């Protein structure tokens, strides 16, 4: 029943595409398409929320589509219900934001038809219950988002982003195809139920895990498969960027969880070693890259990579606990991962919306051209600040809760018997702690440079506050961030059926705890109460303000800022985005990016300007991608002469190929 309604919703979304094409010349097409998307995704969201909270029995349906002997299976179980909630909440927020933002679109006909299809495809991936529909939906998701990435195809960098994205997406789908092929075996038992029933050998399972990690990880942005992400996510229109970063990466995480926790059965302990290491490295690399960027949307895209690292690190921990049948600990780690999935989808969408509003207001994403926007866009600044606080894992907002749960899970891990994990887990813990601290630095920089200080360009000085619909979407997300931060128990309890289904255990019921605290294991061990922390901060802050204004002084005078005696300093003397990152670049960058600063000082008396050049190398690109690209180019060049042969040579080649294939077939065991 549930799944039928959900598929109808998806069908409506798909049907919106031709309508959008027909309408796209009309002035109110934008409003119609995004309005319809908003309504449909809201219905889907409520439906998914109902399945998750009331958890009725899994609802399935088999349609006579796709492979003739298989049909198309769809299903809503707790895991897919949770991810449907994430997808449709993000989609609804993006549609609401786009009701305002989309009006500034230069060529709406390049966005409107693909947007609903993209939403439908993400829903379908989560709904699919057999490998064939899963891969088909996955590919649809990749292609529709690719079309959205090259919306602004006149800019060469966007075309390149689209090209790299397409390559990486095909590569990811290929590995997933192989993974599912291995799991389904020779008989083509592609239904997930059949895959679950089959027990792969240890070797096959390991191979499947690696392939799934590559396939899902490349979509999610795991280092070193992340190279496309910071190119593609910022290139799309901002509401699509929000969906790609906030939601699509989560669909990729869903793919990994589905394969590693559900389809493959009991994990081996060393799988977790790989996942943990990749997660930890991704978290730190992602945020270090983010700190070096000056394009606001690219900062956000790299920070997505960081958060995916955090999620995968928790998933790796959950795998480790599951391998040793420590179910309660596995439940804690998995809850941390899923809660972070939810949280990140909220604040990353919020931040991309904010970046979109800034882009509309000023026409630039370059942080060095912005500044002082808090005066001209006070509401956007306020919600963006909430997003920044949340993503920096600061209490009392939601990012901290999932981070805190991950740390609590790490503190349970000395009981793991394997030596590899005993050494790996504390190292990953340190990496997570480092990434959290660097994320705070990154978002002080992002908010401070863009919204605080004085405007660095005339566009920034003339910016206007964004429209009501965009603000409504951002306020809604910011409010959810706050609620999830101060009442996390409700959200943890909602995740219980998902965690129960995947690990066989769940965290203790939280909503009954005194004063709405969250207590992962026992109160004597650890507890956190976001509500009280928030209440204490607000009450003491307000009481202090009241007392001081009442009894001491409430007078204010304005005067120029202290400029060391040099009057009217230009806004260019402010700290810029790159100068703010300089200390961190100096501490971490010389190792990670081979950062070098080359300064030239003209001789005394010369009037030439002094210059400072900063060189950063993307070592992952240089050592992992460039050699592959060069090799492909070289081979293509060598094989080029095959295009200019005579007809006789071609016939000979065809004949030779035929003979070789026949020989292979004849000798095949």
Partner 1 sequence: MAVIYDFALQGAQMLLVLLMAPLLTGFVRKVKARLLSRKGPPLLQPYRDLLKLMRKDVVLADNASWLFRVIPYLVFATTWVAASLVPTFRSGLMFSWTADLIAIIAVLGSARFFLALAGMDAGTSFGGIGSSREVMIASLAEPAMLMIVFAIALIAGSTQLSTMAAFMNSAEVGLRVSLGLALIALVIVAVAENARIPVDNPATHLELTMVHEAMVLEYSGRHLALIELAASLKLLLYVSLIACLFAPWGISPAIIAPAALMIGAAAYVGKLGTLGFLLAVFETAIAKMRVFRVPEFLGAALMLALLATLLRFVSRGF
Applying CB under 8 A, does 400 fall inside the site for partner 1? yes
Applying CB under 8 A, does 374 fall inside the site for partner 1? yes
For residues 539 and 494, is the Cβ–Cβ distance under 8 A? no
Applying CB under 8 A, does 426 fall inside the site for partner 1? yes
Q: In this structure, which long-range contacts are made by residues 154-159, counting pairs with CB atoms below 8 Å and at least 24 apart in sequence?
A: 157/231, 157/235, 158/235
Stretch that binds partner 1, among 83-91, 93-101, 266-274, 371-379 (CB under 8 A): 371-379
3-state SS, residue 62? strand
What tokens does 551 get?
Answer: 């009894």
Applying CB under 8 A, does 545 fall inside the site for partner 1? yes
For residues 370 and 298, is the Cβ–Cβ distance under 8 A? no
Applying CB under 8 A, does 449 fall inside the site for partner 1? yes
Applying CB under 8 A, does 558 fall inside the site for partner 1? yes
Among 525, 600, 611, 645, binds partner 1 (CB under 8 A): 525
Smallest Cα–Cα separation from 41: which of 145, 119, 144, 121? Answer: 119
Whole-angstrom CA distances from 312 to 40, 177, 307, 337 are 31, 21, 9, 7
Shortest Cβ 570–partner 1 spacing (Å): 10
Shortest Cβ 523–partner 1 spacing (Å): 6
Applying CB under 8 A, does 528 fall inside the site for partner 1? yes
3-state SS, residue 366? strand
Applying CB under 8 A, does 453 fall inside the site for partner 1? yes
Applying CB under 8 A, does 667 fall inside the site for partner 1? no
Stretch that binds partner 1, among 62-70, 193-201, 332-340, 530-538 (CB under 8 A): 530-538
Stretch that binds partner 1, among 25-33, 154-162, 230-238, 524-532 (CB under 8 A): 524-532
Q: Which is nearer to partner 1, 569 or 635 (CB)?
A: 569
Stretch that binds partner 1, among 72-80, 153-161, 178-186, 563-571 (CB under 8 A): 563-571
Stretch that binds partner 1, among 210-218, 301-309, 569-577, 609-617 (CB under 8 A): 569-577
Which residues, including other chains, have CB under 8 Å from residue 531's CB and lie 6 or more apart?
A: 396, 486, 487, 515, 516
For residues 348 and 244, is the Cβ–Cβ distance under 8 A? no
Applying CB under 8 A, does 404 fall inside the site for partner 1? yes
Q: Which is nearer to partner 1, 408 or 466 (CB)?
A: 408
3-state SS, residue 21? helix
Shortest Cβ 141–partner 1 spacing (Å): 36
How many amino acids of this chain bind partner 1 (CB under 8 A)? 88
According to CB under 8 A, which residues from 574 to 603 bind partner 1? 574-575, 579-584, 586-587
Cβ of 653: how many Cβ atoms within 10 Å? 12
Q: How many residues appear in the chain?
A: 669
According to CB under 8 A, which residues from 222 to 261 bind partner 1? none
Considering just the CA atoms, what is the radius of gyration of the chain in Å?
26
Among 58, 207, 532, 620, binds partner 1 (CB under 8 A): 532
Applying CB under 8 A, does 371 fall inside the site for partner 1? yes
β-bridge mates for residue 72, sequence order: 63
Among 563, 602, 627, 633, binds partner 1 (CB under 8 A): 563
Applying CB under 8 A, does 529 fall inside the site for partner 1? yes
Applying CB under 8 A, does 407 fall inside the site for partner 1? yes
Which residues, including other chains, have CB under 8 Å from residue 339's CB and lie 6 or more apart?
A: 401, 402, 405, 488, 491, 492, 495
Q: Is the peptide bond before 224 cis (omega within 30 degrees of 0)?
A: yes
Applying CB under 8 A, does 516 fall inside the site for partner 1? no
Only one residue has tokens 């942080």, namely 367
């Amino acid at each position: 029943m549930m799944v039928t309604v959900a598929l109808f919703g998806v069908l409506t979304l798909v049907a919106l595409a031709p309508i959008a094409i027909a309408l796209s010349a009309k002035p109110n097409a934008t409003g119609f398409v995004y309005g319809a998307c908003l309504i449909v995704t809201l219905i889907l969201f409520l439906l998914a929320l109902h399945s998750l909270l009331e958890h009725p029995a899994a609802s399935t349906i088999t349609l006579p589509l796709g492979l003739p002997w298989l049909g198309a299976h769809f299903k809503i179980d707790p895991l897919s219900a949770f991810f449907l909630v994430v997808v449709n909440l993000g989609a609804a927020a993006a549609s609401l934001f786009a009701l305002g933002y989309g009006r500034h679109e230069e060529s709406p006909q390049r966005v409107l038809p693909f947007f609903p299809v993209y939403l439908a495809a993400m829903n379908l991936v989560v709904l699919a219950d057999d490998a064939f529909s899963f891969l088909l939906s996955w590919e649809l998701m990749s292609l529709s988002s690719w079309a959205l990435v090259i919306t602004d195809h006149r800019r060469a960098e966007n075309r390149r982003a689209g090209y790299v994205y397409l390559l990486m997406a095909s590569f990811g789908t290929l590995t997933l195809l192989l993974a599912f092929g291995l799991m389904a075996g020779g008989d083509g038992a592609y239904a997930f139920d059949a895959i679950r029933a089959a027990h792969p050998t240890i070797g096959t399972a390991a191979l499947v895990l690696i392939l799934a990690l590559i396939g899902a990880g490349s979509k999610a942005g795991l280092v070193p498969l992340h190279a496309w992400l910071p190119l593609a996510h910022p290139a799309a229109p901002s509401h699509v960027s929000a969906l790609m970063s906030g939601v699509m990466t989560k669909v990729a995480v869903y793919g990994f969880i589905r394969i590693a926790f559900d389809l493959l059965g009991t994990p081996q302990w060393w799988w977790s070693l790989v996942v943990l290491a990749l997660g930890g490295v991704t978290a730190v690399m992602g945020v270090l890259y983010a700190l070096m960027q000056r394009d606001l949307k690219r900062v956000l895209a790299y920070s997505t990579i960081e958060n995916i690292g955090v999620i995968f690190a928790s998933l790796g921990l959950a795998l480790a606990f599951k391998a040793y049948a420590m179910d309660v600990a596995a439940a804690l780690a998995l809850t941390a991962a899923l809660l972070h999935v939810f949280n990140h989808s909220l604040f990353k969408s919020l931040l991309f919306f904010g970046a979109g509003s800034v882009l509309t207001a000023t026409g630039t994403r370059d942080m060095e051209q912005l500044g002082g926007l808090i005066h001209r866009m006070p509401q956007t600044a306020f919600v963006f600040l909430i997003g920044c606080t949340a993503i920096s894992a600061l209490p009392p907002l939601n990012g901290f809760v999932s981070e805190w749960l991950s740390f609590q899970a790490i503190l349970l891990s000395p009981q793991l018997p394997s030596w590899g994990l005993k050494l790996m887990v504390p190292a990953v813990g340190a990496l997570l702690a480092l990434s959290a601290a660097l994320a705070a630095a990154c978002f002080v920089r992002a908010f401070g440079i863009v919204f605080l200080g004085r405007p660095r360009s005339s566009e920034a000085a003339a910016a206007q506050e964004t429209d009501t619909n965009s603000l409504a979407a951002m306020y809604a997300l910011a409010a959810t961030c706050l609620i999830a931060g101060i009442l996390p128990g409700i959200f943890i309890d909602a995740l219980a059926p998902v965690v129960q289904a995947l690990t066989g255990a769940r965290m203790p019921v939280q909503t009954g705890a005194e004063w709405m605290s969250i207590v992962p294991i026992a109160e004597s061990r650890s507890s956190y109460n976001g509500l009280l922390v928030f209440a204490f901060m607000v009450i003491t802050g307000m009481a202090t303000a009241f007392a001081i204004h009442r009894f001491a002084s409430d007078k204010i005078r304005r005067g120029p800022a202290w400029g060391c005696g040099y009057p009217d300093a230009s806004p260019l003397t402010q700290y810029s985005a790159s100068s703010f990152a300089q200390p961190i670049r100096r501490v971490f960058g010389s190792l990670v990016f081979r950062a070098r600063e080359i300064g030239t000082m003209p001789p005394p008396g010369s009037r030439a300007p002094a210059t400072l050049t900063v060189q950063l190398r993307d070592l992952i690109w240089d050592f992992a991608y460039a050699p592959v690209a060069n090799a492909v180019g070289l081979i293509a060049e060598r094989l080029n002469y095959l295009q200019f042969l005579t007809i006789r040579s071609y016939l000979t080649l065809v004949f030779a190929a035929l003979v070789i294939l026949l020989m292979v077939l004849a000798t095949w065991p």
